[in-house]
Chain A
Amino acid sequence: MQKTSINHKIIKQALLIRKVEQTFLDLFSQGKLNGTVHTCVGQEFSALAFAGQLKRSDFVFSNHRCHGHYIAFTRDFKGLMAELMGKAKGTCGGVGSSQHLCRNNFYSNGIQGGIVPVAAGYALANKLQGNDNIGLVYIGDGTLGEGVLYETMNIASKWSIPLLIVCENNFYAQSTPQDVNLAGDICQRAEAFGIKTYRADTWDPENLMAEAKNAINYVRESFKPAFFLVETYRLNAHSKGDDDRDEAEVEDYRKRDFLIRFEKESPEYYQKYQSSIDQEVDTYVAEILDAPELQLEEYYPNVRQGQNTNWSPLPMVKKRMVERLNTFFKDTMAAEPNTVFMGEDVLSPYGGAFKVARDLSDRFAERVFSTPISEAAITGIGNGLALNGMKPYVEIMFGDFVTLAMDQIVNHASKFHHMFLHQVNCPVVVRTPMGGRRGYGPTHSQTLDKFLIGIDNVKTIALSPLLDPYPVLEAIQREEHPVILIENKVDYGKRIATQRHPNFTYELDDARYPIVRIKPAASATDITLVAYGGMAELTHQILPQIFRETDQKPELIVLSQISPLPLQALLDSVAKTQQLIVLEEGSPSGGVGGEIIASVVENSKVPIRAKRIAALPVPIPSVKSLEGEVLPSPDRIIAEIQQWT
């Protein structure tokens, strides 16, 4: 073995990582770890070369095999050990455990590929904030199968995002050898996007450390992304007991492993370092074995909000919805420099498919991003921007496309705050227009709100022309957690609460996301109608006909927050009417209406009859007559109420 000039400090850190991993495996065998572990024995120098050579103000995103990266970047092996042992003093209180870690600019998540755009967003925020901090994201060769990786590489290259993507190629995706699943060349994938690539391996740590430093310097100095392929080999199973690799192959790599060689070559140093590390780690494990676990109220305080409702007259704004939205963004982006607007086709003069972004890119060129058609990546970039102090508004051009962004909403934005034990917030806003009645057909007319409610820690707000969107957006701007904002295509051109029926009173409550209530001015109400989004104005329009044809004096409650649901106004209304009809533009099964009814029924003190009026459960046809029949039409609404009452 040729003499290496590698610093013994680095060797000690590598030995520490290996010791911690071996200890996890021992603890797992003893039943002292809940869940599972993915160890990086054999891959330690990849952690030290990249995460270990960053500044503290840089950042690291990692994946399921993140322990080494964590120790190399944070030097906090104790927080990691306590975390995996499920202790309250763990880095995330034991919530995240092996795959979900967070401390001082270190983040990991267990979804393959999903962290890459988040890391890109985090890096973009650094660039927008004008500092020279960079970051890196570790992926494995298995992650090369995820499409969002390529969406992000495209954007990172195009927008010059200072992010180093480190691909740890250990030749196996869990148990599957690489040649089964991987086509073509790894580095050429990055090169195709114009990204500079590097290569090294963990069997020559000295070269790896040097090349890693070069790549880090390149990213920091050029403000461009780079891709680094590290060849390495894990000497243990993917997780536990799932190793079908050829023993001879593993043995061959063991012989090449630097630390094993070091043990043979410099036994005195090795023994000296190892025994000191053993003692430090073993002592700590013994010390925290009986340490307390997190209490539920520390994890989920479940604060109940007050329920007093004060009603005031509903203001009228003689502007169109789209003008008010556009004005909000112009005002807010001018006043609050952390506000970022992104979406497809949002640049001037086009200004987005529905013109919400009109003129924004002229005024705030550096903070308005017209994106490729990459819903998953741009939502992920929004998440990263939000984690790093920005207020991003991500526009998904049609609500139908929001399904492409669901991983980012459900597995990332929704989870960060709690899974990282309240250390971070992710105040991303995802805006998207839903609704039909424009003949756009099955994939551009849907109301998919049902998939956007009930997501933990995410508020879902739906606009309607009965309520000025400006103060609603002002409230969203102040939110510390993710918000999904549902707009409506046909409502963009409508003026706000200007058309009113005589004999009804129009009121709104004082909630952050107000409820609009339209009820008979003097008579008692017979029936409670609840609508939101595109159904709100349509239902409002036909209130007189509903009364005329059904003989029921109606009260219409228009929700703006549809998840979590505000219930008090609904409960107050049904206490009088005992009849509840929810009108929604999506199909009924498993939908918003069902959730509203269930929530009201389980909280109501009086028995209630309830009904959903919704779209038929088929794709929305383009042809006008059929579209009108599939979506709830005035005639159908009245007929259904008539039949039901």
Chain B
Amino acid sequence: MKVLQEISVPQESVNDDMLLVVSVPFANGAKVSDRDIVLELESSKTTFTIECETDGYIEYLCAEGDEVAVNKLIIKIYDEAPKASPNTMAPPLALSSNGNGHHKEVSETIVAKPQFAETMFSAAAERLIQEKGLSQTQFEGRDFVSLRDVQEALGLPAATQKWPKNFAKENKVSENAPLPTLPKADQEGIKLAPLSSLKKKEIQYLSSVQSAGLNSQVETYVDARGILAFVKPHFKVIKDSFLPLIIYEVGRLLKQYEALNAYFSEDGIAYYEQVNLGIAMDMGKGLKVLKVEDADRLSLQAVETELLSLSEAYLEDKIKPQQLSNITFTITDLSGEGVNRFSPLINMKNSAILGVSALDPQLERFALTLTFDHRISVGKEAAGFLSTLKRRLESYRRIIVPQGVNYYDPEQVSCYKCMKKLSQEVGDIGFMKMVSKEGKEVFICQSCLLGH
């Protein structure tokens, strides 16, 4: 019996002279092939695997859970099967995990080969394997391979977590979470005030995304001339604000810009299925972000009703916890504060925030600023979102007659060619007014105008 290969504990980092044996995929004496993963080790920084470089029969000089010293000989590979030793133990069926989530994730990707002769693939996993030109044999030895497993193997962000694990934990921000390192307060010349717990929480929420430092901004102006004039008759109470219209349009637009309705998680990018807009409010009782749920499905009138009930709840201190949670995108409106522009900060478990600045009375325009998480989205996408939003908002002014007193009733106005009513128009342009061959003033829809 000849030794073909000896494997010792490698030095992975200068800090570690002891490593933990996380898993031992083969039984002692089992046949192994060149490039088989024969051991998984954990250092203080990472978990890594060791492959053998020859076909042969394996003998372990360590066991799962052992702490082994760097350079210690831990595996021998022989040219023939060793005689059965009474101490030879089959590895346990389920690989161990020491309660460390990261460690567990890794150990699941490396599975004892001999136990599962036939790996079961989900249909979704098979499709991705085929699409990426992988081979199923790459997953040999595992019990089950799901889409997520294939994505992990490809180094792709893991599948969207529809129900984030440790959901409750993530949502709960510890009161005692440490703040970033800060300068000591001077001994004199200052008045020291403790941070309120509300402010602490706010800092923690905002730090969650901002601390990565990978946020970027795009900004645009919205030509506001005539918008309110159109909007006013549609609302009962909020007649002087662009906010309901912005909520209405942003809600719909976010369905097309998933990356802005998401968050960056430990497991990858988590895309929300719902669109729940958070509206930052501060009406004298502290900054609160209140939720407009399923904003993409609300009518303009429903948006107004929702806003009114939220502000009532805010003012009467009757906000329920669920009105503050599961917010997928935030809008902060400082238009009442007379600012030309400002830099909003992205909220925890969001990837973007939209800031609404005040109307410039001379130029009749206001600024929209979008801060977005560059780990998830890119400038071009954010710009696309913002410019579409701008166009949509401005489209409301175009349906106004230049003389500016009467409006066309969308139920009455119809395209003279296809007879489509203005109210049925799904595009954001509206109808053109033109002169027909007969010399009459008529309306034409975009499609007919372009000859489609």
List chain A positions with a Cβ less than 8 A from chain B. Answer: 502-505, 520-524, 526, 544, 547-553, 578-579, 605-607, 609, 645
Contacts and interface: CB of A to CB of B under 8 A. Distances in A.
Interface in B113-139: 115-125
Contacts of B124: 551
Contact of A522 (B94, B118, B121): B94
Contacts of A550: 122
A645 B162 CA distance: 8
B353 to A, nearest CB: 25
Contacts of A578: 163, 165, 167
Contact of A547 (B93, B115, B120, B163): B120
Nearest to B104: A524
Contacts of B111: 522-523
Nearest to B121: A548
B163 A579 contact: yes
A524 B96 CA distance: 11
B14 interface: no
Interface residues of B, number: 31
A154 B112 CA distance: 68
Contact of B143 (A522, A551, A609): A522
B120 A544 contact: yes
Most chain B CB within a 10 A radius of its CB, from A547, A551, A578? A551
Contact of A520 (B104, B125, B143, B148): B143
Contact of A523 (B118, B121, B143, B162): B143
B168 interface: yes
Contact of B163 (A502, A520, A551, A609): A609
Given A505-B93, A578-B165, A579-B163, A551 B146 contact: yes
A526 B121 CA distance: 14
Contacts of B121: 548
B144 interface: yes
B390 interface: no
23 contacts: A502-B117, A503-B120, A505-B94, A520-B144, A521-B115, A521-B116, A522-B93, A522-B115, A522-B116, A522-B142, A522-B143, A523-B108, A523-B143, A544-B120, A547-B146, A548-B120, A548-B122, A551-B122, A551-B146, A606-B167, A606-B168, A609-B163, A645-B162
A281 B220 CA distance: 96
B273 to A, nearest CB: 12
Contacts of A553: 144, 146
A524 B119 CA distance: 15
Contacts of B146: 523, 526, 547, 551-553
Contacts of A523: 108, 111, 142-144, 146, 149
Nearest to B119: A503
Contact of A551 (B95, B104, B108, B125): B125
Contacts of B93: 505, 521-522
Interface in B177-213: none
Contacts of A502: 116-118
Contacts, number: 74
A548 B123 contact: yes
Contacts of B162: 645
A311 to B, nearest CB: 11
Interface of B: 93-95, 104, 108, 111-112, 115-125, 142-144, 146-149, 162-163, 165-168
A606 B166 contact: yes
A524 B104 CA distance: 9
Question: Is the contact region of chain A dominated by helix, strand, or loop, or is it mixed?
Answer: loop
Given A503-B143, A522-B142, 17 more contacts: A502-B117, A502-B118, A505-B94, A523-B142, A523-B143, A523-B146, A547-B122, A548-B122, A551-B124, A551-B125, A551-B148, A553-B144, A553-B146, A578-B163, A605-B168, A606-B166, A609-B163
Q: Sort A-B residue pairs by CB-CB distance and give the 3 closest, nearest first.
A: A503-B143, A551-B122, A551-B124
B110 to A, nearest CB: 10
A39 B218 CA distance: 89
B262 to A, nearest CB: 19
Contacts of A522: 93-95, 108, 111-112, 115-116, 142-143
Contacts of A505: 93-94
Given A520-B143, A520-B144, A521-B93, A551 B118 contact: no
B450 to A, nearest CB: 40
B171 to A, nearest CB: 9
A333 B381 CA distance: 78
Contacts of B108: 522-524
A605 B143 CA distance: 29
A115 B314 CA distance: 62
A473 to B, nearest CB: 31
A502 B93 CA distance: 13
Contacts of A549: 122-123
Contacts of B117: 502
A521 to B, nearest CB: 5
Contacts of A520: 143-144
Contacts of A551: 122-125, 146-148
Contacts of B94: 505, 521-522
A522 B106 CA distance: 12
Most A Cβ at <10 Å: residue of B144, B165, B166: B144
B118 A503 contact: yes
Nearest to B111: A522
Contacts of A609: 163
B272 to A, nearest CB: 15
Contacts of B168: 605-607
B33 to A, nearest CB: 20
Contacts of A547: 120, 122, 144, 146
B259 to A, nearest CB: 23
Contacts of B115: 521-522
A367 B307 CA distance: 75
Nearest to B167: A607
A609 B165 CA distance: 12
A206 B72 CA distance: 106
Nearest to B105: A524
Nearest to A608: B163
Nearest to B164: A578
B44 to A, nearest CB: 24
